[in-house]
């Protein structure tokens, strides 16, 4: 009986040991399966190098980085949103909106953040979303829009800006205008005022298309404003460019009464032979004003406006320019070609004459020989 009990206990221990071994193997197998059951995936992060972005500027110093997890490989499509959403708010885009990610590696692209001159100041959150099939992840960074740097300055204004004094002999008339000085961007200091008097004031502004092409038209828009009370007449307007000087053939003289504004448009044809690149542009304006007290027209100070244009080449202008240069070369060589042609013709004529004389001489020699009977 005792022997049987021993065997029974030993068998129980063996059975328990076997069951424990099987449980351990199953646990190891399940844990291994769980490890290998992790699906391929990716992670995202942003590398933000910017600090503050002034209004009206942009930068591409930020980076979106996508990293492979558990053997993931493929393309991840990126999109960006900016919060809060405001009118004229900042925008975010990518240099490459689809990033290629190798297995076990990573891919990246630059993030371009832009603002306009009236983007509201303050903090924004830029959220980057990456998707690939059913997988989707996000990451974000902050953005601060600041005011652009402005140096300290001040402005001078007059109220009213135009005063009129009646012309009365032997009568003193007082007129006044309040001058206001306003600080800008933290300016502080002492301002020295001075003045001079002009019986007439002519304001002049010049605008133009800065990138004409040879054979094209340079369009000059001249805006004149009579900022005084006297009658003004614009008498001369000259434009000096790298390829010549031009004076408008029509539109002058141009008369303006007090407070009147007029525009004179001038068109200049760019020569096909114009030099490529930047050229200076200077406008010179001569004008006169009427002085009722003297009954005379008097000259006002000469006005100037300057700038530059960039003459750029086009396929059509290049071809036309080559034709013009070839035509000019042929015209320059024309007299020499004609001289050469005349010399060749004369040489040929001399050869013909010599050959004819020799032939006639031989013929006379044969005629003078006695004939055989």
Query: Which residue range(s) make up the domain with 95?
Result: 41-146
pLDDT tens digits along 116-172: 989 999 999 999 999 999 999 999 988 899 988 778 888 889 888 777 666 555 566
State the Cα–Cα distance between residues 349 and 57, nearest whole angstrom: 81
45 and 128 co-located in one domain: yes
Whether residue 288 is contained in a domain is answered as yes
Q: How far is CA 329 from CA 183, 272, 317, in A?
A: 64, 15, 18
213 and 279 co-located in one domain: yes
Whether residue 265 is contained in a domain is answered as yes
State the Cα–Cα distance between residues 113 and 97, nearest whole angstrom: 14
110 and 213 co-located in one domain: no
Last residue of a domain, one of 316, 337, 366: 316
Whether residue 132 is contained in a domain is answered as yes
Whether residue 134 is contained in a domain is answered as yes
- HEC assignment per residue over the chain: CHHHHHHHHHHHHHHHHHHHHHHHHHHHHHHHHHHHCCCCEEEEEEECCCCEEECCCEEEEEEEEEEEECCCCEEEEEEEEEECCCCCCCEEEECCCEEEECCCCEEEEEEEEECCCCCCCEEEEEEEEEEECCEEEEEEEEEEEECCCCCCEEEEEEECCCCCCCCCCCCCCCCCCEEEEEEECCCCCCCCCCCCCCCCCEEEEEEECCCCCCCCEEEEEEEEEECCCCCEEEEEEEEEECCEEECCCCCCCEEECCCCEEEEEEEEECCCCCCCEEEEEEEEEEEEEEECCCCEEEECCCEEEEEEEEECCCHHHHHHHHHHHHHHHHHHHHHHHHHHHHHHHHHHHHHHHHHHHHHHHHHHHHHHCCCCC
Total of domains in the chain: 2
Last residue of a domain, one of 316, 331, 364: 316
Q: Give me the residue label for tokens 């200049």.
A: 268
216 and 310 co-located in one domain: yes
132 and 214 co-located in one domain: no
Last residue of a domain, one of 278, 294, 316: 316
122 and 220 co-located in one domain: no
State the Cα–Cα distance between residues 262 and 226, nearest whole angstrom: 9
Whether residue 332 is contained in a domain is answered as no
132 and 223 co-located in one domain: no
Whether residue 108 is contained in a domain is answered as yes
312 and 207 co-located in one domain: yes
pLDDT tens digits along 18-30: 555 555 555 555 4
Give the mean pLDDT per block of 10 residues along the chain (373 residues).
50 57 55 61 84 82 91 96 94 93 94 92 94 95 86 88 65 79 90 76 91 89 91 95 91 93 94 85 94 86 90 58 55 57 60 61 56 44
Which CATH number covers residue 291? 2.60.40.10
53 DSSP β-pair partners: 145
Whether residue 6 is contained in a domain is answered as no
210 and 137 co-located in one domain: no
312 and 222 co-located in one domain: yes
206 and 132 co-located in one domain: no
Give the sign of the dihedral formed by CA 66, CA 69, CA 73, CA 77.
Answer: negative
Whether residue 173 is contained in a domain is answered as no
295 and 226 co-located in one domain: yes
């Amino acid at each position: 009986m005792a022997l049987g009990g021993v065997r029974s206990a030993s068998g129980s221990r063996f059975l328990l040991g076997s069951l424990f071994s099987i449980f351990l193997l199953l646990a190891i197998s399940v844990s291994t399966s769980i490890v290998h059951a992790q699906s391929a995936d990716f992670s995202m992060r942003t590398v933000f190098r910017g600090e503050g972005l002034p209004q009206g500027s942009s930068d591409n110093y930020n980076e979106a980085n996508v990293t492979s997890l558990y053997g993931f490989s493929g393309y991840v499509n990126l999109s960006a949103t900016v919060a809060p959403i405001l009118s004229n708010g900042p925008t975010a885009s990518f240099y490459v909106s689809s990033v290629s990610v190798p297995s076990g590696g990573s891919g990246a692209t630059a993030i371009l953040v832009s603002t306009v001159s009236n983007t509201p100041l303050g903090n924004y959150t830029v959220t980057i979303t990456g998707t690939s099939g059913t997988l989707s992840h996000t990451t974000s960074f902050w953005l601060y829009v600041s005011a652009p740097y402005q140096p300290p300055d001040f402005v001078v204004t007059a109220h009213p800006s135009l005063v009129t004094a009646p012309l009365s002999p032997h009568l003193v008339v007082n007129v006044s205008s309040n001058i206001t000085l306003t600080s800008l961007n933290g300016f502080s200091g002492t301002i020295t005022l001075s003045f001079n008097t002009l019986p007439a004031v002519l304001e002049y502004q010049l605008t133009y298309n800065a990138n004409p092409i040879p054979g094209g038209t340079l369009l000059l828009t001249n805006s004149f404003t009579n900022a005084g009370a006297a009658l003004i007449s614009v008498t001369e307007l000259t434009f000096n460019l790298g390829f010549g000087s031009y004076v408008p053939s029509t539109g002058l003289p141009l008369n303006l009464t007090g407070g009147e504004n007029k525009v004179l448009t001038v068109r200049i044809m760019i020569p096909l032979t114009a030099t490529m690149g930047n050229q200076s542009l200077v406008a010179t304006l001569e004008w006169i004003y009427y002085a009722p007290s003297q009954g005379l027209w008097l000259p006002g100070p000469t006005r100037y406006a300057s700038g530059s244009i960039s003459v750029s080449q086009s396929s059509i202008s290049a071809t036309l320019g080559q034709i013009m240069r070839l035509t000019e070369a042929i015209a320059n060589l024309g007299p020499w070609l004609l001289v050469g042609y005349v010399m060749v013709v004369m040489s040929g004529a001399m050869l013909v004459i010599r050959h004819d004389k020799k032939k006639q001489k031989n013929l006379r020699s044969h005629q003078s020989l006695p004939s055989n009977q």
